[in-house]
Homo-oligomer: A and B are copies of this chain.
């Protein structure tokens, strides 16, 4: 039954003995056509193996139903989860979103955005790649395509953002560490060109300052946001004269790396060195020891972003309010018992 050339509504019309307009109406589920006619047409559609041509339709409709999700790193389970959250709401709205990966590469991102625009997307949810230039989204804005940023924001952009409360999350985590009796704290991983980094580091700093940790007792080491980066951070931190006894990591991947590096040195994550992660990916719970981490409800943020996008499309606007998602610290085993209750010698300077 594989016809040579693809079937069009004209073929269906001929087959069913009606006009192309009638077929079009049936396709759109219009209530104007007589039920028997609709049945006849639908049968013809089935018979000729018709495939709807959305491109042709969009030519007239000027309103496509394609939504793009631009993700900066698909291999990071964190972003995969974000994507899944978004998908859930789009699915229930009958929309199939297309995911494109930029692999944290601004040039690739440019290509991806261009391609999606050419495809005539109705809207875009983007987790911008690191090093995105300020002008990267100008074309989108000019074209009036609604855009939402998820998880990351750009310095001076007016595009709505859905992000967790990074500042507060970092604050909570640092406060937890200090409460456990740690006095020399580190912040591991990430780099200053990310706004997220500044927010998290800001929360860390504020906790240290308000809870009486001197600036010289804070170690901040930038690094890759991966296991490898975590390993490197720990190594350089422990090489200093007065090494920290605890670290807040930029994300869970870094934290896993730190724990790995500790083990390699015969140190036990928790009792010997406390580590806290950020994002609370699913593995955090299953790690040995289980990772204490700042939970950000990734999938929930994804859903939120999708809802905002849907609303923007519906009200044909390009503006929307930012949304800062709640966070909370999930305490597990990677910070060990309270430091003061430990009879380990090694003369650590316990201030109080």
Contact = CB atoms under 8 A, between A and B. Distances in A.
Interface string A231-272: 000000000000000000000000010001001000010000
A211 interface: no
Contacts of A143: 2, 6, 49, 51
A118 B6 contact: no
Interface string A63-92: 010100000001101001101100100010
A103 interface: yes
A227 interface: yes
A283 interface: yes
Contact of A286 (B56, B66, B256): B256
Nearest to A56: B59
A7 to B, nearest CB: 9
Contact of A260 (B75, B96, B119, B286): B286
A100 B101 contact: no
A51 B117 contact: yes
B139 A66 contact: no
Contacts of A120: 53-55
A75 B77 contact: yes
Contact of A350 (B91, B227, B263): B263
Contact of A84 (B53, B77, B103): B103
Interface string A30-50: 000000000000000000010
Interface of A: 1-2, 6, 49, 51-56, 58-59, 64, 66, 74-75, 77, 80-81, 83-84, 87, 91, 96-101, 103, 108, 111-112, 115-120, 139, 141-144, 227, 256, 260, 263, 268, 283, 286, 288, 350-351
10 contacts: A2-B144, A49-B139, A53-B118, A55-B58, A74-B80, A84-B101, A96-B112, A99-B100, A119-B119, A227-B286
Given A51-B118, A77-B80, A83-B101, 12 more contacts: A2-B142, A52-B118, A54-B118, A55-B55, A55-B64, A80-B80, A98-B98, A98-B100, A119-B119, A263-B350, A283-B283, A288-B350
Q: Which 3 A-B pairs have the closest CB atoms?
A: A55-B55, A98-B98, A96-B115
